[in-house]
């Protein structure tokens, strides 16, 4: 598909999560044949440094790492960048009713945010929330990020529900989250594009104010909302539309931040296939990033 994408003028592709996940976690079946549907959206990662074997023709012989690297090389040869969607806010283990793959069995209280009585804190809408700012978890995430950039040569990282990275083990919002600071200060990631989805499922909304923001681009949810309201004919939206098209100066004209920090998109949709467990992300994303 690379020649086709290049003919459209595409200069970068963003891959939905390709970390290993369980495609059999979909609860729905074909009403006619009874065949169980599979979930290939990938937003329930169970291994942050393993490419999905089923996506590779040589997956049965463990060739997925080689195939992924060769794919990235092919995009680069065509003058196109590769952005990887990383889901570090939760895992496919779900809540207390979910399957145990690794983290829950290794150290449940270390890897997941929990209440004092041991219930999972659910800031993701997916049943659990990764305890990102614990030193052990932070080291794991940084190791994985360095692998994808240093060994697999991806050009950018888009962090799903990135505001989760700014919470402590009890869910309190941190002013200078250690894991976000580690990402922005890391030498291996120095030339990597960092893109935050600057909100979470519990109401933390940081568009225009993501921590250490001069290093991050942000999904501009206000651009999406204002453009869509204008399109569907809401009254009084001309001024808001002009603000968005002129660079969202109300959000990005301060503290060394500029319109280039805004990722302007028109549509993105999330669908919960299983309550508190599975999140699917609509493939259609229109990115109007200014370069």
Place of tokens 């360095």: 146
**Cβ-based neighbours of 210, under 8 Å, separated by 6 or more:** 162, 163, 196, 198, 216, 218
* Cα separation, 88 vs 161, whole angstroms: 8
How far, in whole angstroms, is CA 225 from its chain's centroid? Answer: 20
C-beta separation of 19 from 48 below 8 A: yes
* Cα separation, 156 vs 52, whole angstroms: 19
* Cα separation, 75 vs 186, whole angstroms: 25
Catalytic residue set = 160, 197
Cα-based angle 104, 105, 107 (whole degrees, multiple of 5)? 70
Report the helix count and the strand count for the chain, using DSSP H and E: 8, 10
Question: Is the Cα torsion angle 166, 150, 66, 282 positive or negative in sign?
Answer: positive
C-beta separation of 41 from 280 below 8 A: yes
How far, in whole angstroms, is CA 182 from its chain's centroid? Answer: 17
């Amino acid at each position: 598909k690379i020649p086709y994408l290049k003919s459209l003028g595409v200069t970068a592709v963003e891959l939905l999560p390709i970390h290993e996940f369980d495609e059999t976690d979909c609860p729905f079946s074909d009403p006619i044949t009874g065949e169980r549907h599979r979930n290939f959206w990938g937003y329930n990662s169970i291994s942050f440094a393993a490419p999905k074997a089923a996506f590779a023709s040589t997956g049965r012989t463990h060739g997925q790492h080689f195939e992924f690297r060769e794919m990235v090389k092919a995009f680069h040869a065509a003058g196109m960048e590769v952005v990887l969607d990383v889901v570090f806010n939760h895992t496919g283990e779900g809540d207390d009713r979910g399957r145990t793959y690794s983290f829950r069995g290794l150290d449940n209280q270390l890897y997941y945010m929990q209440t004092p009585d041991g219930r999972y804190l659910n800031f993701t809408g997916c049943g659990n929330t990764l305890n990102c700012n614990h030193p052990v978890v932070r080291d794991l995430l940084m190791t994985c990020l360095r692998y994808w950039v240093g060994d697999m040569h991806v050009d950018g990282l888009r962090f799903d529900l990135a505001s989760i990275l700014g919470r402590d083990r009890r869910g309190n919002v941190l002013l200078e989250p250690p894991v976000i600071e580690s990402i922005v200060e890391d030498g291996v990631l120095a030339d990597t594009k960092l893109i935050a989805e600057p909100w979470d499922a519990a109401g933390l909304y940081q568009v225009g104010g993501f921590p250490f923001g001069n290093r991050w681009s942000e999904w501009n949810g206000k651009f999406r909302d204002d453009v869509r309201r204008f399109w569907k004919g809401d009254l009084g939206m001309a001024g808001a539309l002009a603000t968005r098209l002129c660079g969202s100066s109300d959000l990005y004209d301060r503290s060394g931040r500029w319109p280039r920090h805004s990722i302007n998109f028109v549509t993105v949709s999330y669908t919960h296939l299983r309550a508190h467990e599975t999140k699917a992300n609509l493939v259609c994303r229109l990115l109007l990033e200014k370069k």
